[in-house]
Amino acid sequence: MTIYDISEKAGVSIATVSRVLNGSNNVSEKTKKKVLDVINQYEYTPNAFARGLGLNTMKTIGIMCADSSDPYLAKAIYYIEQKLRANGYDSILCCTGYDLDTKSSSMNLLITKKVDGIILVGSNFIYEKEDDNKYILGAAAQVPVMLLNAAMDAPNVYSIVSDDFTSMYDATMEMIRSGVEDILYFYNSTSYSGKKKLAGYRAAMEEKGLLTNGSFLQLYQGSHEDIPAMADQLLKLHAKGITFHGVIAADDSLALGALKYAREMKLRIPEDLAIIGYNNSMLVNCCDPELTSIDNKLETLCQHLITTLMGVLGGSEMPKKTVFSGELVKRGTTK
């Protein structure tokens, strides 16, 4: 039996069941009796029930991320842990890598630790094949699952996302308006978020009839720490006679690779090559000129995620999906 079975058999919403389990006064005696009768009939006593009664709660949230050495993911974990602690919760972190089996094993591990909820940091946890997402559905049948910058429509799964499509579309249009039309898109991920960014770039370029060269879509598959390798990939394009006067990168580290390429080619920035990064991370201040980048409002996303999670754990109705807009922060690498 899960909270969803009780909801169905009692003929009430999941939130109502949660309120009954949490001892909320916001439920009529008639409805409370209906829910408790189902609970007693089926002897429902999982961890969620104990937590709801305030017994045996671990006051702990599980956090999963693919790679904590990634600056974006590391910053997200920092914000999330800070905000959990402010709400009286500890956390258990699992760095899963990108293999599905390892992600599933980590999820099962967190469930056995009796965590109150699970946060998936980053968009690499969502797959196109429905079967590959069963490990998330299984966990969500027991505890709330929060997705940071990914979306999934499923019971007890809550999505907090940045509008990567619009942010990338607007940034591309801004570069086109500045007079740069041969813009190369430099990316390193085909995750949920990665696809949204790519689609935003493509939409802007196709709208202006500028996506005529397939080589303008450059997927980098090396380490996110290997800036010279990123620059080398762009140098090889130049050696093939492929020229461009703008680079929009899906990550700030890739934008630094483009900046290194420009230095090696002795190009003036932004006169000969304009560059836009993504995430508005600490890396934007580590170069000269400083990097124009898209701020995807990471701290705001993390704050809202924790607010939503605390609401769910408290038995409140919370929005299943919340979308925030990004902002282009102009610095010295664009006109």
Q: How far is CA 261 from CA 50, 230, 246, in A?
A: 58, 8, 12
| Chain mean pLDDT for the chain | 92
Predicted pLDDT at 230: 98
What's the confidence (pLDDT) of residue 3? 75
**pLDDT attached to residue 125:** 97
Ranked by mean pLDDT, the top range of 15-19, 34-38, 84-88 is 84-88
Checking if the pLDDT of 54 tops 60, the result is no
Q: Is the pLDDT of residue 48 over 60?
A: no
- Model confidence over 124-176: pLDDT tens digits? 999 999 999 999 999 999 999 999 999 999 999 999 999 999 999 999 999 99
Average pLDDT in the 52-61 region?
Answer: 65
Q: What is the pLDDT of residues 284-300, one digit of tens each?
A: 999 999 999 999 999 99
What is each CA distance from 134 to 63, 84, 97, 100, 266, in whole angstroms?
18, 27, 18, 11, 51
The pLDDT of residue 51 is above 60? no
pLDDT at 144: 95
Residue 49 has pLDDT above 50, yes or no: no
* pLDDT of 45 higher than 70: no
For residue 42, the SS3 value is coil
The reported pLDDT for the residue numbered 77 is 97
- Could you give the CA distance from residue 311 to residue 32 in angstroms, rounded to a whole number? 20
The answer to whether 64 and 94 have CB atoms below 8 angstroms apart is yes
Q: pLDDT for 246-284, tens place per residue?
A: 999 999 999 999 999 999 999 999 999 999 999 999 999
Is residue 98 predicted with pLDDT exceeding 80?
yes
Judged against a pLDDT cut of 70, whether residue 120 lies above it is answered with yes
Q: Is the pLDDT of residue 50 over 60?
A: no
Chain segment 171-202, per-residue pLDDT in tens: 999 999 999 999 999 999 999 999 999 999 99
Q: What is the mean pLDDT of residues 82-104?
A: 96
Q: What is the pLDDT of residue 18?
A: 78
pLDDT at position 39: 84
CA 285 to chain centre: 23
What per-residue confidence (pLDDT) applies to 162? 96
- 209 Cβ neighbours under 8 A, 6+ residues apart: none
Residue 5 banded pLDDT, cuts 50, 70, 90: confident
What distance in Å separates the CA atoms of residue 244 and residue 273, rounded to the nearest whole number?
8
